[in-house]
């Protein structure tokens, strides 16, 4: 009997500018292929790029591509058919696993839509939970009173909550949720958390590396910090960033993206000389959404750092520009959290687990920005 064919219809492999260093080359390919897999996943399995196809396109040894495919297979994205092909797993695969428990994921919709790192954490964690036998239930936090939020959690029959960047609502409902017998796991990211957190993200060392490079290698002597909406607090506050800049011998000027018209703001930014520009929180997405063409000009003429992941440009083609990024391996974070859930570790009995962000200098924005 002839083997049943799986549909292909994948986009062409993107052109990439990859560092000659092997570890950077492998990490870039991993990020790219993971992104394509997540963006093109359908209900059923479909044929994925062959290892030789990827090896030929990027002039990378087949053995290195095989290592990347094995990692994506462990993440549950790919399935290899021995001696035949590689399949991109369909979404129906998640539904075939028995449920270990129900994990609630509080989500602020405004941040989920605008801030890529916030969105990637929840997406990676939700998928890792499902692949490991947990049911993942998103619980929106925009606007509800504490009592309403608790009622939603009860309705979904949640037994554990993983709360990323817990704010005032987490503080208000913590005792009520614990009275229901729920376990609350906090994940802090820069901001001072309102509840104890068992995991923490640290971005300061990566930001410091970028600013030091600006001063020493690019001869910049000041930075302009652009903050966004007050409803979406930045993971690094203005005062904290100013302290880091002062330590590195850089002057700091603060600017609020909503304190003036976007056009005036863009004109001011494009005229910066001997200064780097740091976008905090929703400032980057806000400016990119309002005027993608002008934002592209800023990327082309200024040294720009994005501390909460890449920005997206909805309805516009991502420009071929280079930026400085602060990046987290969200897959590693998700695997550690889910692994602890599986072994039912007593997270409160140990010191918080710390994940360090990494800096990426002068990397293509299109390579890291998620398509939405």
Under 8 Å between Cβ of 79 and 40: no
The answer to whether residue 22 scores a pLDDT higher than 70 is no
In the predicted model, is pLDDT for residue 97 greater than 50?
A: no
pLDDT at residue 317 is higher than 80? no
Q: Which H, E and C letters describe 187-199, residue by residue?
A: EEECCCCCCCCCE
Under the banding of pLDDT at 50, 70 and 90, the label for residue 31 is confident
pLDDT digits (tens, 9 = 90+) for 154-198: 888 898 999 999 989 999 999 999 888 899 999 999 878 899 999
Average pLDDT over the chain reads 82
Q: What is the mean pLDDT of residues 14-27?
A: 66
More confident residue, 301 or 17: 301
Instruction: Give yes or no for residue 83 having a pLDDT over 70.
Output: no
Which range, of 102-106, 257-261, 349-353, 364-368, averages the lowest pLDDT?
257-261
CB 88 within 8 A of CB 45: yes
Q: Name the token pair of 368.
A: 């890291």
Residues above pLDDT 90, as percent of the chain: 28
pLDDT at 316 over 70: no
Q: What is the pLDDT of residue 256?
A: 78
Structurally, what CATH architecture does the domain formed by 22-94 represent?
Answer: Orthogonal Bundle (1.10)
- Tens-place pLDDT, residues 38-52: 777 777 788 888 888
* Residues written for the chain: 372
Q: Do domains 22-94 and 204-328+360-368 have the same CATH topology?
A: no
Residue 94 has pLDDT above 80, yes or no: no
Q: Rounded CA gap, 10 and 29, in Å?
A: 16
- Kindly indicate the confidence band of residue 6, based on its pLDDT and cuts at 50, 70 and 90: very low
Between 29 and 23, name the one with better pLDDT.
Answer: 29
What is the homologous superfamily of the domain 98-202+329-356 according to CATH? Response regulator (3.40.50.2300)
pLDDT given for residue 181 in this prediction: 87
pLDDT band at 275 (very low <50, low <70, confident <90, very high): confident
pLDDT at 40: 79
Q: What is the average pLDDT across 328-338? A: 94
Share of the chain above pLDDT 70, in %: 85
pLDDT of residue 21: 56
Judge whether 156 and 102 are in contact, CB under 8 Å. yes
pLDDT tens by residue, 108-148: 988 898 888 999 999 999 999 988 889 999 999 887 678 88
Q: What is the pLDDT of residues 276-298, one digit of tens each?
A: 889 887 788 877 877 778 788 88
Query: What is the rounded CA–CA span in Å between residue 49 and residue 275?
Result: 43
Mean pLDDT calculated for residue range 91-106: 71
> Domain-by-domain residue ranges, the chain?
22-94, 98-202+329-356, 204-328+360-368
Among 134-143, 234-243, 279-288, 338-347, top mean pLDDT goes to 134-143
pLDDT at residue 357 greater than cutoff 70: yes
Per-range mean pLDDT, top range of 102-106, 175-179, 364-368: 102-106
What CATH number does the domain located at 204-328+360-368 have? 3.40.50
Distance CA 120, CA 15 (A): 23
User: Do 280 and 245 touch, CB atoms closer than 8 A?
Assistant: no
In this model, does residue 262 exceed pLDDT 70?
A: no
Q: Are 211 and 248 in contact (CB under 8 A)?
A: yes
């Amino acid at each position: 009997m002839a083997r049943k064919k799986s549909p292909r219809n994948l986009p062409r492999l993107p052109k990439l500018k990859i560092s000659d260093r092997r570890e950077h080359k492998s990490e870039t390919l991993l990020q790219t292929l993971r992104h394509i897999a997540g963006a093109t996943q359908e209900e059923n399995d479909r044929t994925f790029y062959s290892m030789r196809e990827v090896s030929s396109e990027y002039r990378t040894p087949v053995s290195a591509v095989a290592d990347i495919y094995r990692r994506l297979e462990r993440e549950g994205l790919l399935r290899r058919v021995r001696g035949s092909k590689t399949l991109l797993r369909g979404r129906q695969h998640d539904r075939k696993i028995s449920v270990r428990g129900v994990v609630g994921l509080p989500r602020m919709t405004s941040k989920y839509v605008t801030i890529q790192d916030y969105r990637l954490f929840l997406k990676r964690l939700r998928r890792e939970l499902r692949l490991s036998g947990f049911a993942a239930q998103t619980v929106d936090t925009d606007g509800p009173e504490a009592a309403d939020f608790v009622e939603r959690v009860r309705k979904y029959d949640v037994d554990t909550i993983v709360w990323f960047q817990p704010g005032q609502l987490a503080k208000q409902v913590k005792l009520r949720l614990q009275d229901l017998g729920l376990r609350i796991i906090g994940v802090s990211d820069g901001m001072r958390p309102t509840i104890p957190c068992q995991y923490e993200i640290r971005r300061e060392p990566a930001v410091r590396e970028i600013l030091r490079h600006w001063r020493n290698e690019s001869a910049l002597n000041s930075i302009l910090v652009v903050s966004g909406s007050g409803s979406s607090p930045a993971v690094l506050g203005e005062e904290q960033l100013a302290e880091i800049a002062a330590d590195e011998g850089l002057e700091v000027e603060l600017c609020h993206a909503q304190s003036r018209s976007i056009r005036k703001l863009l004109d001011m930014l494009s005229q910066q000389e001997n200064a780097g520009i740091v976008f905090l929180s929703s400032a980057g997405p806000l400016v990119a959404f309002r005027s993608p063409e002008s934002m592209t000009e800023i990327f082309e003429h200024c040294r720009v750092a994005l501390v909460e992941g890449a920005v997206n440009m909805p309805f516009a083609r991502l420009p071929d520009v280079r930026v400085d990024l602060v990046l987290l391996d969200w897959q590693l974070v998700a695997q550690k959290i889910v692994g602890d859930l599986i072994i039912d570790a007593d997270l409160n009995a140990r010191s918080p687990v710390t994940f360090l962000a990494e800096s990426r200098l002068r990397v293509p924005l299109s390579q890291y920005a998620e398509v939405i």
